[in-house]
């Protein structure tokens, strides 16, 4: 593992993520061990809530349409715009992590798509 690189959605030391990790620790009295999964689940719920509000009703087809039409939604780990044809996020950055000599994974750089 030493010297390897990994692509991820976020990283534990991201200053923008500090509030969510602090809140987690306040509530659960422990660090968020699965911080990527925790972040993605947290943001997924906000995306769903936003879609239901925009749909105006909690019905599957209306929610699906609203999810597809998401544009510029500010989440904790990224700003989300969805390509309605592919359902993939557009212009979502990737975080490159590197495993150091001590086998700890650290932020290396953020890659923004062009």
Mean pLDDT by 10 residues, the chain (114 residues): 93 82 92 86 95 98 97 94 93 93 92 86
Confidence at residue 76, expressed as pLDDT on a 0 to 100 scale = 87
Confidence at residue 73, expressed as pLDDT on a 0 to 100 scale = 98
Cα→Cα distances 18→11, 15, 77, Å: 10, 5, 11
Read off the tokens for 72.
């510029």
Residue pair 32/38 in contact by the 8 Å Cβ criterion: yes
Confidence at residue 111, expressed as pLDDT on a 0 to 100 scale = 93
Confidence at residue 52, expressed as pLDDT on a 0 to 100 scale = 99
Does the predicted TM-score (pTM) go above 0.85?
no
Read off the tokens for 20.
């969510």
Confidence at residue 56, expressed as pLDDT on a 0 to 100 scale = 98
Alpha-carbon span 26 to 20, nearest angstrom:
10
Segments making up each domain of the chain, as ranges: 5-111
Q: pLDDT tens-digit profile of 73-85?
A: 999 889 999 998 9
Confidence at residue 14, expressed as pLDDT on a 0 to 100 scale = 82
């Amino acid at each position: 593992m030493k010297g390897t690189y990994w692509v991820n959605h976020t990283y534990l030391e991201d200053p923008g993520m500090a509030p969510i990790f602090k809140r987690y620790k306040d509530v659960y009295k422990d660090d968020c061990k699965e911080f990527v999964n925790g972040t993605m689940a947290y943001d997924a719920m906000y995306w769903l809530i936003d879609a239901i509000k925009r749909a105006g009703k909690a019905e599957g087809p209306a929610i699906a349409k609203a999810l597809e039409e998401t544009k510029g939604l500010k989440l904790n780990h990224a700003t989300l715009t969805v390509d309605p044809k592919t359902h993939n996020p557009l212009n979502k950055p990737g975080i490159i992590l590197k495993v150091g000599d001590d086998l700890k994974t650290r932020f290396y750089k953020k890659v923004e798509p062009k």
